[in-house]
Amino acid sequence: MKYDENAGYFISHIRLLNARLFNKLLSEEENAKYSAEQGKILSALWIKNPQTATDISIKTGLANNTLSNMLKKLEEQGLIYSCSHENDQRKKLFCLTDEGKAQEEIGRKISEELNGIFYKGFSEDEKRELNNYLERALTNLQSASKRWKN
């Protein structure tokens, strides 16, 4: 394989292993009340709270049917709640509960531990360089994906 044929494989495999490790670390954390997949939603809400399901879907990349089920489960777990949008009663907003907000500390701790694993042996310059390359690749893919919307 040439170098340009490996990137997709590496990214897919990194994503898979990252999710597995995140779930493993979460399972070892006695106060964690969510899974890695649910963490995508919570982390979007930790950044901006509240949000609509559409906003969360865009930020997480989760399909609407998957997202709906996960939002319902997070509500049942007491980590989020829904309410009507103040400007558009047809829309629902999803908000963090106090318990959902408290889970951010656990998410941050596990993310830091996972980053330590991911970047093991990298210099600070190498970390920056890798992140810059990945950001450029992401920007390229986001630009290309706009062509197929709607």
**What is the number of H-type helices and E-type strands within the chain?**
6, 3
pLDDT digit string (tens) for the chain, length 150 residues: 555 668 888 999 998 999 899 999 999 999 999 988 899 999 999 999 999 999 999 999 899 889 999 999 999 999 999 988 777 778 889 999 999 999 999 999 999 999 999 999 999 999 999 999 999 998 998 888 777 664
What is the pLDDT, as a whole number, of residue 149?
Answer: 62
For 51, the 3-state DSSP assignment is: strand
Strand partners, 84: 92
3-state secondary structure 66-98: HHHHHHHHHHHCCCEEEEECCCCCCCEEEEECH
pLDDT score recorded for residue 21 = 93
